[in-house]
Structure 1
Amino acid sequence: MIDRIVFSVYQINKYVKETLDYDPILQNVWIRGEISNFKWHSSGHMYFTLKDKSAKVRCVMFKQKNHTLDFIPRDGMAVILLGGISLYSQEGQYQVYVDYMEQDGLGKLYAEFLKLKDRLQKEGLFDTKLKKQIPFFPTKVAVVTSHTGAAVQDIIDVMHRRCPMTDIFVVPVLVQGKNASKQIAAALDYINTRSDIDVIILARGGGSIEELWAFNEEQTAYAIYHSHIPVISGIGHETDFTIADFVSDLRAPTPSAAAEIAVPDLNNIMDQMENLTFRAIKAISRDIDDKRQYIDTFLNNYIIKYPQRFVDQRYMQVDFLYSQLYSFINTILSNKKHKLSSIAGALEALSPLSILARGYAQINKIGYNNNPICSIKQLHSGDNVQLCLHDGKAICYIDKIMGG
């Protein structure tokens, strides 16, 4: 019997799955087809079949991938998707795990959009430093949009409700189609020749990328860029972004939101004014009460009520301080006099005059700088000397020397 290897179904499916998962081409593949059997599960995941005239393949797009879609898939819709092919082992069915999906025919438009966006950005049309300030309280707002669409009526309703004294100047234009961009640019250029317009709203309702394409045209972008009047864009829905949004001074997610941005809400302002008035009155009243209390406290002060008593107390305080100062000075003088007397007594006891007064005399030899004679050895017979007594001087003659 020939040796053979027998695999289980699980092993085969596992081998096929790993083969598909490790194929670099099958893990990053673009596929074009038509959606059928579309199901949007309550979990958020999308399950559908992609088919063409000759074949079909099962697809799944998980919630974390499909939340970025700018359209809702439906049966019969032609799409281009990007994903990886793997095997659903439990069913033995291979399927496409979709990472990205777009409507077929939009890929070229989107590429043009990105190309123009990149070029205009490099030219500086999106520079935030060039964005003009939107006036807080415009007197007249120009609205550039279709006169037949819901957007213009929404804008008028919102502005009349928020700020009825602001004038609205509607400039009707085509907002889709071949000549739409030309009309939009001409309208913006015309509005900029007027001096009564404070702000411009450029708006239209939602639509596909093809329907919004007039706002992705180069002509529209340059007209917005060269406008010296601030431009607010309110194009499509919140998820829609156009070149006009990037060039405008301010983007609003919808036409109604653009109207809300363009004018203030007077009711809200009145409420704020009432609140501020109430707070101001309350603050002033509190300040007046504080000042009144301060004045009452001041008027009840002892000094204000009895000023003479305050003065008399200060007189008494001065007298007391004077007595203390007088006593202090006398004590200092007495101590100084006593100390001076002691020093004078000591000096008196040491004074040569005191010694002379007790009968002593000082002898100076005449002719020798009156130096005092301290020994008989300094004398000779016949010398003349001077005697200094306590009450005068005398000249003596040395007749005889004895001793020494």
Structure 2
Amino acid sequence: MEPLPFFKTPLTLTVEEITRYIRQMMESDEVLRDVRVLGEVSNLSMPKSGHIYFTLKDHAAQLRCVIWRSQAVRIRFALQDGMAVEAHGAISVYERDGQYQLYVFTLQPVGEGLLYQEFLRLKAMLEAEGLFDEARKRPLPAFPQKIGIISSPTGAALQDMLNTLRTRYPIAEVILAPSAVQGAEAPAELVRALRCLNGLPDLDVILLARGGGSLEDLWAFNDELVVRAVASSRVPVISGVGHETDFTLVDFAADFRAPTPTGAAVAATPDRKDLLLNLLDARMDLLGAYTTRVSTARERLSNLQQRLLRASPVRRIQDSHQALDQLSARALRAAGQRIKWEHSRLTATSERLSALNPANVLQRGYAILNLPDGSLLKSVAQAPAGQDFQVQLSDGRFSARAVESPLSTPQKD
């Protein structure tokens, strides 16, 4: 509904219209849209819906209040009747009952408002000095051998951290520097514990932790001396103060901020289950690499052996022996072929000589005539009458003489 225009004469409105108009007027007021109210809690009601209803009152007046469930889960203290609180919220009207009330955004016990202002002042001062710079934060050790813990020796936070460390990384040695974590004596004890652990030469990491609480309960971890001691620590510091939504100045100065004490123990150590899985993976990778390396080496060795065998004198001698055997076989085959060829040629020559042998001719009825000087009688002119000569037949020889002058045989044309 739009704001009603100003009229000189009264308007007649329904209850709904006037109530809505009043609500719009309240919600448009800058003061009522963002107001902090001090008072004492009464008529507290916490139904199963998760919303919180109560009344704030003082000696002269009272104000109905409501906290919706989404804001109620952020309250870190036990709200009860009679408690003095500071409520931050906005004033509006619940139209059904025509009741104006405070819709609360945040709620804290009286006194925490001043503490929060001091928190902001210290944070701005230390941040300006560079104590919270990311560049000065150190990496956490991957496999710490000695872990220091600063916490209350009787608190549940310590037991949670010890149980977590035993489960995740039981080989680490844990050194406890007990300290108060709440109250006036806590800051000095926290500083003393930090100095004590920093005096150990082989400490790897420090866990500074406690359980949750109100801003006042956690105030020791906002103390300036404690924050400076954390920032100047030689050993990396993990803060695990309160719950995930709780922030202290120590969280900004520490090398790592964990949401809870258990989270701090988790951040400080590897999980042995993961380490075993990584070890198994590494073993399989190593086995695979070893198998591949051996296979490659064997193949290379085999190649080298083959090359060495081909280049060695033994192989050359063996090759020479083989070549000699081949040459010998070839020579024997060639000699055999030559012998066969020569035998064939000799046979042919022998046959030709046999055909030309005079003795063979004599066996066919021919004779050989020789003069007394042994020369052949080749012509009748060499045998005049009275000429002696020898006649050789196939089975012997005898002497003969020409008795008359030979007659020459006429030559054929």
TM-score bracket for this pair, using the shorter chain length: 0.5 to 0.7
Q: Which secondary structure state, in structure 2, belongs to the residue aligned with residue 137 of structure 1? A: coil
Q: Given the alignment of the two structures, is residue 155 of structure 1 paired with residue 161 of structure 2, yes or no? A: yes
- CA pair 159-25 structure 1, distance change in 2 beyond 3 A: closer
- SS of 1:176's partner is coil
- Alpha-carbon deviation of 1:182? 0.9
1:103 to 101, 109, 119: 109
SS of residue paired to 2:33: coil
Whether 1:224 and 2:207 are equivalent positions in the alignment is no
2:174 aligned to which of 168, 172, 191: 168
- The residue number in structure 2 matching 1:380 is none
**Is 1:195–2:208 an aligned residue pair?**
no
Cα shift at 1:142: 1.3
Segment drifting more, 5-14 vs 255-264: 5-14
Q: Distance in 1 between matches of 2:88 and 2:157?
A: 35
For the pair shown, the structure with the greater C-alpha radius of gyration is 2
1:136 is matched with: 142
- Residue 70 of structure 1 contacts residue 239 of structure 1 at CA under 8 Å; is this kept in 2? no
User: Hey, what's the Cα distance between the residues in 2 that align with 1:235 and 1:28?
Assistant: 30
1:91 aligns with 2:97: yes
How many angstroms apart in 2 are the aligned matches of 1:58 and 1:271?
59
**Where in structure 2 are the equivalents of 1:387-402 lying within 5 Å?**
none
CA contact (8 A) 1:174 1:183 kept: yes
Whole-Å separation in 2 of the counterparts to 1:30 and 1:280:
66
Q: Spell out, residue by residue over 1:191-235, the C-alpha distance to the aligned partner (whole angstroms, 9 max, x if none).
A: 222212111111112222212111110010111111111111111
Q: Counterpart in 2 of 1:237?
A: 243
The structure 1 residue matched to 2:257, chosen from 244, 251, 254, is 251
Residue 271 (structure 1) aligns with:
277
Distance in 2, matches of 1:46 and 1:201, equals 37
Equivalent residues in 2 for 1:3-402 (5 A)?
Answer: 6-40=12-46, 44-63=50-69, 65-66=71-72, 68-71=74-77, 73-281=79-287
Distance 1:154 1:100, change over 3 A: closer
- Aligned-residue sequence identity (percent) comes to 42
Q: Write the letter of the residue equivalent to 1:128.
A: E
Query: After superposition, what is the alpha-carbon deviation per residue over 1:121-155, rounded to whole angstroms, capped at 9, x for unaligned?
Result: 11100111101121111221111112122222222
Residue equivalent to 2:403: none
What secondary structure, in the 3-state scheme, does the structure 2 residue paired with 1:25 have? Answer: helix
**Do the aligned partners of 2:242 and 2:259 also contact (CA within 8 Å) in 1?**
yes
The CA deviation string for residues 358-401 of structure 1, in whole angstroms up to 9 with x for no partner, is: xxxxxxxxxxxxxxxxxxxxxxxxxxxxxxxxxxxxxxxxxxxx
Match of 1:351 in 2: none
C-alpha separation between the residues in 2 aligned to 1:96 and 1:208?
23
Choose 135-144 or 278-287, whichever is displaced more: 278-287
Residues 59, 162 of structure 1: alpha-carbon distance in 2 compared, 3 angstrom cutoff: same
Query: What do the CA deviations read for 1:33-52 (whole angstroms, capped 9, x no partner)?
Result: 12333344555543332222
| 1:16–1:252 CA distance, 2 compared to 1 (3 A) | closer
3-state SS in 2 of match to 1:26: helix
Alpha-carbon shift at residue 86 of structure 1 (Å): 2.4
5+ unaligned residues in a row in structure 1: which ranges?
296-404
User: Do the aligned partners of residues 266 and 53 (structure 1) sit closer, same or farther apart at CA in structure 2, a change above 3 Å counting?
Assistant: same
Structure 1 window deviating more from structure 2 (197-206 vs 62-71): it is 62-71
* Distance in 2 between residues matched to 1:252 and 1:242, nearest whole Å: 12
Name the CA distance, whole Å, in 1 between partners of 2:31 and 2:44. Answer: 26
Kindly report the root-mean-square deviation, in angstroms, between the aligned alpha carbons of the 2 structures: 3.2
Q: Match of 1:108, as an amino acid? A: L
Aligned to 1:376: none
How far is the alpha carbon of 1:263 from its aligned partner? 2.1
SS at match of 1:112: helix
CA distance in 2, matches of 1:51, 1:237: 31
Where structure 2 has 5 or more consecutive residues not aligned to the other structure, the ranges are 1-8, 302-413
Q: How has the CA–CA distance of structure 1 residues 249 and 21 changed in structure 2, closer, same or farther, with 3 Å as cutoff?
A: closer
The letter of the residue matching 1:198 is D
Q: Which moved more, 1:47-56 or 1:63-72?
A: 63-72
Q: Secondary structure at the match of 2:31?
A: coil
Quote the Cα distance in structure 2 between the aligned partners of 1:184 and 1:163.
Answer: 26
Q: With structure 1 as the length reference, what TM-score do the two structures score? A: 0.65
Moved more, 74-83 or 123-132: 74-83
Q: Which amino acid aligns with 2:145?
A: T
